[in-house]
Chains A and B, each alone.
Chain A
């Protein structure tokens, strides 16, 4: 995939060498978002700076940019703007996401297709501003579709695909597009910025004058939204519908990825997961975010030593690709699950590895699972370390024994020696 991008990059004059955050801003511009509301936070800041530049230079005509005083107000103003029937975009990181939490539930409850880029960072204290997906993963139950990006190009592409899925009238749910702080947000890479006409053709049209089908602000059709509802009312059913829609969104995500590939030529697996050298693999690593990008190289190098190892890149956390993971776990003997994030007190300590175990609990004859954690708070994970991680899985397959030095069943890899 890397070489494909290089080739395409050289052919297309719309291409740029830009930071991951700028890729997010370009995606918002390409998506013709109508209202932006944002508050700066490291490492997301350059997203809001770039968008400011676009708006001030008149490159996003008609777009309103609200510079609010906090993240809580970011998401509240997004709710107001989206309810009025406009396409909306914002971005945040770690603490900012936590501060929004109340409004995140509000957005999903209102069924608003807001798209938010998240340059993920570790939660404080102590202060940490580097890659760690605990911020977005801890918003698990807010009702937002959640995806991870492994490359700069994927940030741009995923935001386009997000509007396609979220604004589908059968879905109408919000979405997080998360990528590692600094590792992707502040490094530069060649990116293909697609032609506006093609993007317009790919994306659904902007909401029409009537707004969304389920909610609108229009004095000619006065509507009340959000009244107190008694337990005997439809609250329960509204909640159930959010779950049901989230599960149905899987199919839409797959369609959006397929259509994206057809139009722009870039493949992202089935949209939910993307396999790398899995055809003959008997050992595999499931991994997400920026760590997945470097892991491709680690897989290649370990394969050169004669091992049949593969990688599964998890692209969506919500909805969780249960069927895909069952299929993989039936195919391989050992499956490592690498988290860059924590879920304290959960079955494994890692948010994704806990989910994988849950997904497999009713399936017989599946791979042995090794939950792993690395790179918390932006701790560097070198390619040698990743090769080491893969070899731990290979050894586990050969000996049938779990590695030593597990903490309640999970391998915390790359930690400092504590005396």
Chain B
């Protein structure tokens, strides 16, 4: 662990002491773009969950990068699903596993983890109804939004998760509206576990999935997953861009467990705005924000500051 902090190369075994995590469950040879944020997110989620997992993926990049038939990269049960149906299909699986457990007791059918990996379109737009339904029912699933902030699979169209100012093929002048705060919406459903992750913090992804696996009910994890072609930056910069999103405060890392909010150690100090790196450090690395007006920049900063104020007031309310 010490070596890791010193930023020297360590093996996963040295860092985690977890046999399962030493394996890859999303295999090499898949067709992700170079520098794909999604791939890092899925690999680390699966390192935590292990192969006793069934993954449901509604229409998104993941439907394609797993490989064209008959090739397939996931080394665990995986089903493609219709766009709006991620959370509901997963509910069907987790309930059927209960029915199977009743009929075949002692075979651990109920111990299989039902996981959803959906993009931001499949989560914040077309899939939100099914997701909200699953959350309200407290279906026993882990729902993941891997957020690349636009419809990347269809060629970079705006979603409700696209941030203010970002250019997409359907917001050619930059998006006017703001990013939908889905983790906050999910927290408002009062489900047992909500968390945000960044692919720049793989150990954090690992720990959060490890925890989510042990919790009964609906778990929601939102991972920021930068996309080189969509955000228009060199593919070797993916981790750095994600890291900047955390450091500038664009993407706060936290978890809300049974209603209690805890900030990640890298995000906690940023409650103090002066500790945040300048927003421009993050934006200037991505051409999707090129040509953004000063006014737009101010508005985006205000939007981010407001999210932090919400987090701060929640923490404050918890303490008092």
Which residues of A are at the interface with B, using a C-beta cutoff of 8 A?
34-35, 37, 61-64, 66-70, 72-74, 76-86, 88, 102-103, 106, 206, 209, 217-219, 222-230, 233-234
Q: How far is the CB of B114 from chain A (nearest CB, A)?
A: 8
Q: How far is the CB of A89 from chain B (nearest CB, A)?
A: 12
B184 → A minimal CB distance (Å): 20
Most buried by B among A67, A72, A80, A88: A80
Q: CA separation between A136 and B43, bound complex, in Å?
A: 44
CB pair A222 B68 closer than 8 Å: no
- Cα-based distance from A69 to B134 in the complex (angstroms): 8
Quick one: given A73-B133, A217-B54, are A64 and B95 in contact (CB under 8 Å)?
A: yes
- Determine if B77 and A78 form an interchain contact, defined as CB atoms under 8 angstroms apart: no
Q: Which of B54-102 touch A at CB < 8 Å?
A: 54, 56, 63-64, 66-72, 74-82, 84-85, 87-100, 102
| Contacting residue for B107 out of A78, A106, A209, CB 8 A | A209
Q: Which of A67, A76, A219 has a CB less than 8 Å from the CB of B77? A: A219
Give complex CA distance A229, B70 in Å: 8
Q: Which 10 A-B pairs have the closest CB atoms?
A: A80-B92, A69-B133, A77-B92, A226-B80, A76-B85, A73-B88, A84-B96, A62-B102, A76-B88, A81-B96
Is B129 an interface residue, CB under 8 A from the partner? yes
**Contact, CB under 8 Å: A76 / B81:** yes
Measured between beta carbons, the chain B residues less than 8 angstroms from A77 are: 88-89, 91-92, 95
Q: Distance in Å from the Cβ of B135 to the closest Cβ of chain A?
A: 10
Q: Would you call A35 and B75 a contact (CB within 8 A)?
A: no
Q: A69-B132, A206-B103 known; A233 and B69 CB under 8 Å?
A: yes
Do A70 and B99 touch (CB < 8 A)?
no
A84 to B77, CA, bound (A): 11
Contacts of A209 in B (CB 8 A): 100, 103-104, 107
Return B97 CB to nearest CB of chain A, in Å. 6
Closest chain-B Cβ to A40's Cβ sits at a distance in Å of: 14
A35-B95, A69-B132 as given contacts; A227 in contact with B66, CB under 8 Å: yes
Bound CA span A230–B99, Å: 36
Count chain A CB atoms within 10 A of each CB in B74, B90, B96 and give the residue with the most: B96
Chain A proximity of B20: nearest CB distance (Å): 12
The 16 listed contacts between A and B (C-beta, < 8 Å) are: A34-B96, A62-B102, A68-B91, A76-B81, A80-B92, A81-B92, A81-B95, A84-B96, A88-B96, A209-B107, A217-B97, A222-B51, A222-B74, A223-B78, A227-B63, A229-B69
Contacts A219-B52, A228-B68 known; A37 to B77 CB distance under 8 Å?
A: no
Chain A CB within 10 A, most for which of B72, B80, B103: B103
Given known A34-B103, A84-B93, A228-B69, contact A68–B53 (CB-CB < 8 A): no
User: How far, in angstroms, from A239 to B64 measured CA to CA in the complex?
Assistant: 21
Contact A37 B92 (CB under 8 A): yes
Tell me how far the C-beta of B316 lies from the nearest C-beta in chain A, rounded to whole angstroms: 34
Does A86 contact B100, Cβ atoms closer than 8 Å? yes
Q: Find the A residue at minimum CB distance from B141.
A: A80
Given contacts A225-B79, A227-B70, 13 further A-B contacts (CB under 8 A): A34-B103, A35-B92, A35-B95, A61-B102, A62-B102, A64-B98, A68-B133, A72-B85, A72-B129, A76-B82, A76-B88, A81-B99, A228-B63
Chain A residues whose C-beta falls within 8 Å of the C-beta of B56 in the assembled complex: 80
- Knowing A76-B82, A103-B82, A227-B72 touch, does A34 contact B99 (C-beta < 8 A)? yes
Indicate if B271 sits at the interface (CB-CB under 8 A).
Answer: no
CA distance A73 to B89 in the complex (A): 7
Cα separation A61 to B96 with both chains bound (whole Å): 14
Which residue of chain A has its CB nearest to the CB of B133?
A69
Bound CA span A66–B90, Å:
12
Give the chain A neighbours of B63 by CB distance below 8 A: 227-228
Q: Is the CB of B88 within 8 A of A226?
A: no
Cβ–Cβ contact A86 & B99, under 8 A: yes
**Hey, which chain B residues are within 8 Å of A72, CB to CB?**
84-85, 88, 129-130
Judge whether A83 and B95 touch: CB under 8 Å. no
Q: Once the chains are docked, how many angstroms separate the CA of A83 from the CA of B94?
A: 11
Which of B51, B64, B81 has the largest count of A CB atoms less than 10 A from its CB?
B81
Question: Taking the nearest CB of chain B, how far is it from the CB of A101, in angstroms?
Answer: 11
Question: Would you call B90 and A80 a contact (CB within 8 A)?
Answer: yes
Q: Which of B64, B75, B84, B88 has the most CB of A within 10 A?
A: B88
Contact A84 B97 (CB under 8 A): yes
Q: Is the CB of A84 within 8 A of B100?
A: yes
Report Cα–Cα, A227/B72, bound state, in Å.
8
Find chain A residues with CB under 8 A from B75 CB. 222
Q: Give the shortest distance, in Å, between A98 (CB) and chain B (any CB).
A: 14
A232 to B93, CA, bound (A): 31
Minimum CB–CB distance for A394 against chain B, Å:
51
Q: Which residues of A contact B102 (CB under 8 A)?
A: 61-62
Please give the distance in Å from A316's CB to the nearest CB on chain B: 27
B137 in contact (CB, < 8 A): yes
Contact (Cβ within 8 A) A223 B77: yes
Please tell me if the beta carbons of B93 and A217 are within 8 angstroms of each other in the complex. Answer: yes
Which residues of chain B are near A217, meaning CB under 8 Å?
54, 77, 79, 93, 97, 112
Could you tell me if B96 and A64 are in contact, using CB atoms closer than 8 angstroms? yes
B95 x A219 contact (CB < 8 A): no
Q: Kindly identify, within residues 98 to 119 of chain B, every residue whose CB is under 8 Å from any CB belonging to chain A.
A: 98-100, 102-104, 107, 112
Task: Give A84 to B97 CA distance when docked, in angstroms.
Answer: 7
Q: Does B281 contact A (CB under 8 A)?
A: no
Partner of A76, one of B69, B72, B92, B94: B92
Task: State the Cβ distance, A397 to closest chain B Cβ, in Å.
Answer: 51
Complex contact A103–B129 (CB within 8 A) = no
Option from B67, B80, B88, B136 in Cβ contact (under 8 Å) with A225: B80
Which residues from chain B contact A76 at a C-beta distance below 8 Å? Answer: 81-82, 84-85, 88-89, 92, 130
Alpha-carbon gap, A68 to B87, bound state (A)? 11
B residues 105-153 with Cβ under 8 Å of A? 107, 112, 129-130, 132-133, 136-137, 139
A219 near B78 with CB under 8 A, answer no
From the candidates A79, A102, A224, name the one contacting B72 in the complex (CB within 8 A): A224
Shortest Cβ gap from A165 to chain B (Å): 22
Tell me, in angstroms, the Cα distance from A368 to B156 when the chains sit together: 58
* Residues of A with C-beta under 8 A to B103: 34, 62, 206, 209
A95 to chain B, nearest CB (A): 16
Of A66, A70, A102, most B-chain CB atoms within 10 Å: A66
- Asked whether A222 lies within 8 Å of B76 as measured between CB atoms, the reply is yes
Collect the chain A residues with CB atoms within 8 Å of residue B54's CB. Answer: 217, 219
Task: Enumerate B156-182 residues with CB–CB distance to A below 8 Å.
Answer: none
Compute how far the CA of A131 lies from the CA of B129 in the bound complex, rounded to whole angstroms.
Answer: 30
Partner of B68, one of A85, A218, A227: A227
